[in-house]
Amino acid sequence: MTTQTDTQKHGFRLGTRRSPLAMAQAEEARDRLAAAHGIDPAHIEIVAVTASGDRIQDRALAEIGGKALWTKELDAWLAAGEIDFAVHSAKDVETIRPAAFTIGAILPREDVRDVLVGAESIRALPQGAVVGTSAPRRAAQLLHARPDCTVVTFRGNVATRLAKLAAGEADATFLAAAGLKRLGETGTGHPLDEEDWLPAPAQAAIMIECRADDARTLGFLAAVDHGESRASVLAERALLAGLGGNCHSPIAVLTRLDGDGLAMRAALYSPDGAERVEGAARFAMDDPEGPARLAADLLARAVPAIAVHFAGPA
């Protein structure tokens, strides 16, 4: 067990990407850990890296290597022992991870909704609106609801995307409510009802990974692990694993606490939004087969234009 004296003597090194939102998430993790253990936050050193995904901004993520572009530098540091744990946006972490790493904690999940900037609602977008997003899920959901709209690629941090919008590169764009809140920009845009506009898998959750054999760090992180958030995030990751989706695969999912279990709704789309299949399931919090069964059901009912973008269970 990690004691307060041990932590103050030896400290911990927290790895994170260098983007403003990633730094805000790292600071939240540091402060929660410090409060939980009754230590000075200075005993947790934040070590920042510029991830490949942050360096390459002119192409969609799916075209340049997928989610690994957010994790590979931190993975190398973690494997080498240069950091004790890494803080990630859970939605950006690949479904299949190296066996040497494990999830030490999931912090309390924030608002899962998307925010539309540039119009009050999807319905209120002008006819033929140009909407900026690099997320296949957002693009497919938009085109399903509004096939008259056009999607253009928007990448970059929150400030970059808002600047592109202000420069007239698009009529509207999407941002995550959780990211805006963590950056102190809660007045930006119009939140979309998560029951009508399903979020991305693991959206709004902060994931902390460490080495699987590092008992000291695992004990330290356990103090901030939020059980309900962990259960919903792991369920959504199990759904992804059952679907065999990747960065090209438009999938949306909403998971709610339902008594002592979880209720999950998920939808798969063709990239052009023309086709959609939806399903729902309820299962125990610790039942990975529940999401797998929902994945199998969705794939069984998916038309070829959807199914081709999902490989099925590994």
User: Domain 237-307 - what CATH class?
Assistant: alpha beta
pLDDT of residue 87: 97
pLDDT of residue 71: 84
pTM: 0.90
What stretches in the chain show pLDDT beneath 50? 1, 3, 5, 7, 53-67
* Span(s) in the chain for CATH 3.40.190.10: 4-107+202-225, 114-191
The CATH number that domain 4-107+202-225 falls under is 3.40.190.10
Q: Strands across the sheet with 85-89, in order?
A: 44-49, 12-17, 85-89, 206-211, 101-106
Q: What percent of the chain has pLDDT over 70?
A: 90
Q: What is the pLDDT of residues 276-304, one digit of tens each?
A: 999 999 999 989 899 999 999 999 999 99
Sort strands 251-258 and 261-269 into parallel, antiparallel or unpaired.
antiparallel
The Cα–Cα gap between 207 and 106 comes to 5
Q: What is the pLDDT of residues 185-230, one digit of tens each?
A: 877 899 999 999 999 999 999 999 999 999 999 999 999 999 999 9
CB contact set of 92 (below 8 Å; sequence gap of 6+):
53, 67, 70, 71
Q: Among all residues, which ones are annotated catalytic? A: 92
CATH superfamily of 114-191: Periplasmic binding protein-like II (3.40.190.10)
pLDDT of residue 52: 53
* Span(s) in the chain for CATH 3.30.160.40: 237-307
